[in-house]
Amino acid sequence: MIEIGRLCLKIAGRDAGKKCVIVDVLDSTFVLIDGETRRRKCNILHVEPLKNKVELKKNASHEDVKKVFEGLGLKTRETKPKQKTEKPVKKKKVSEKKKDVKKKTGKKKETKVESTLEDKAASAKKEDKTASKKTSEQVKK
């Protein structure tokens, strides 16, 4: 009874109660099935053969099985191929308060740097002036 092209009823698992056809006999215990069930390796004990038999080649493709099942008025199980989607890139969320704080701190730093530079320049000028005055006084004396 277990031969290629034999229509069967799956009697175990989540595909139980669905019709399938034997596509290949793998060994004394396992067969390859396809049809209303998913295309898979299956134990002979989990399948109940029916009276009907269809003509199928060994290892027939899913499309061939589909054609045969359409002729019998049955539907095959179709699985949609998964669509590739890009991984979403996480953007770091910064709250408005933190943004404001950052801006303020950034400005302060800039102003500080400017002020320090200006101060240095002014102090250097002053020192130069005092030095020149001293030298002029010494010369006068």
Q: And the tokens for 47?
A: 């399948």
Check binding of 73 to another protein (CB under 8 A): no
Check binding of 3 to another protein (CB under 8 A): no
Check binding of 16 to another protein (CB under 8 A): yes
73 HSE (CA, 13 A, CB side): 0
Binds another protein (CB under 8 A): choice among 1, 2, 11, 124: 11
Binds another protein (CB under 8 A): choice among 24, 25, 30, 50: 50
Binding residues for another protein, total number by CB under 8 A:
13
Binds another protein (CB under 8 A): choice among 5, 24, 39, 49: 49
| In the complex, minimum distance from the CB of residue 52 to another protein, in angstroms, rounded to a whole number | 9
Residues that bind another protein (CB under 8 A): 8-14, 16-17, 48-51
